[in-house]
Amino acid sequence: MIKDNFGRPLNSLRIQLNATCNFRCFFCHMEGTEENGETMSLEEIEKLMKAASELGINRIKFTGGEPLLRRDILEIIKITRKYIDGDISMTTNGYFLGDMATKLREAGLSRVNVSLHAMTQDSFKIITGNSSLDRVKHGIKEAVRAGLNPVKLNMVVLRGLNDDQIFQLLDFASEVGAMVQFIELESSKEEEDQDWFKKYHVNLNFIEDLLRPYVRGIEYNSLHRRRILILDYKYSELKVEIVNPHRNHEFCMNCTRLRVTSKGLIQTCLHRPDQRIAIDYSNPSEALIKATLMREPYW
């Protein structure tokens, strides 16, 4: 396994499969890229996966855009599973999950994160630009039923838009057997002073306070050493992760991943679009190694 100059091993890739999405979340960071158009082909993805496995990478996260908009998504998962025997996961808006969950599981997907930024129709529409809350909830139930495990529900908490829906999300997660990630609104250093960020950003300590009476244990996420609260909640045990902003040393210290943009550029960090390396598909390891050696903690 290769390590960067700060002693951090590389064991994970976050791969943006496309830059198009059928939702319009107004706060979306687009995974730190502003690409559109052509995306990596299945053949290119296969070459990248082969090189990744040879370098000891055993965790792959697919994201977008919306990854389920790719018609070859099942082939992508199958090809990935050929080389990666560890964790293969995906972040999706859930719109297509109802039809796809079982097929994704059979293709080799381990687990799924579904963005669920609101629990009322009105706020869902305001946040995502789409009126499909019920369809997304159905997709989540199908994902649990298909055996994707865990199914994590991602809510980016936004002041005045969904910060009053914390317990509604917990109720739903508990009812269907999913876990929850409350995500603090993230921005680059430059955006922190912008009006939109100041308007919607809310510190997540208030959620910890709300949950305290239910907490009966704590676990740690293996990728970034984030705390996972184990709650005794209504129907069952419920796991809740509070994803504080990346802007802390602890996050960067435990970061073990590189990103791949939809066009197939290796990017060192969400906030470093200036640090990108093109892949030469006759030798993809070279770009992975070069990018690893460029990695430096952003925060």
**Taking the complex as a whole, how short is the minimal distance between the CB of residue 82 and ligand SAM, in angstroms?**
24
How many residues at the interface with ligand SAM, by CB under 6 A? 17
133 binds ligand SAM (CB under 6 A): no
Question: Could you say whether residue 185 binds ligand SAM (CB under 6 A)?
Answer: yes
Does position 244 bind ligand SAM by CB under 6 A? no
Rounded-to-integer distance, Cα 266 and Cα 286, Å: 11
Binding to ligand SAM in span 29-58, by CB under 6 A? 29, 31
Minimum CB separation of residue 283 from ligand SAM in Å reads 29
Q: Which is nearer to ligand SAM, 27 or 298 (CB)?
A: 27
Burial class (CB in 10 A: 0-12, 13-18, 19+), 87: middle
d(CA 267, CA 24): 24
Determine the residue with CB nearest ligand SAM: 186
Q: Which is nearer to ligand SAM, 156 or 242 (CB)?
A: 156
Residue 28 sits in the site that holds ligand SAM (CB under 6 A): yes
Minimum CB–partner distance for residue 32 and ligand SAM (Å): 9
Cβ within 8 Å of residue 16, ≥6 positions away: 31, 33, 35, 63, 64, 65, 259, 260, 261, 262
Segment near ligand SAM (CB under 6 A); pick from 23-31, 50-58, 159-167, 169-177 = 23-31
Instruction: Enumerate residues 6+ apart whose C-beta is below 8 A from 212.
Output: none
Residue choice 18, 33, 89, 91 for contact with ligand SAM (CB under 6 A): 91
**Considering the complex, what minimum distance in angstroms separates the CB of residue 280 from ligand SAM?**
27
Residue 4 near ligand SAM by CB under 6 A = no
Residue number with CB closer to ligand SAM (91 or 123): 91
Closest to ligand SAM by CB, 61 or 141:
61
Closer to ligand SAM by CB, 50 or 227: give it. 227
- CB–CB of 73/80 below 8 Å? no
| Contact call for residue 97 and ligand SAM (CB under 6 A) | no
Does 115 contact ligand SAM by CB under 6 A?
yes
Asked whether 259 and 16 are in contact (CB, 8 A), the reply is yes
Indicate which single residue of 27, 83, 281, 299 sits in contact with ligand SAM (rule: CB under 6 A).
Answer: 27
Q: Which of 12, 18, 89, 93 binds ligand SAM (CB under 6 A)?
A: 93
Alpha-carbon radius of gyration of the chain: 19
Site for ligand SAM in 145-184 (CB under 6 A): 154, 156, 183
Token output for 70: 């790719």
For strands 215-220 and 227-233, give the pairing: antiparallel
- Residue 295 tokens, joined: 């990695």
What residues line the site for ligand SAM (CB under 6 A)?
21, 27-29, 31, 63-64, 66, 91-93, 115, 154, 156, 183, 185-186
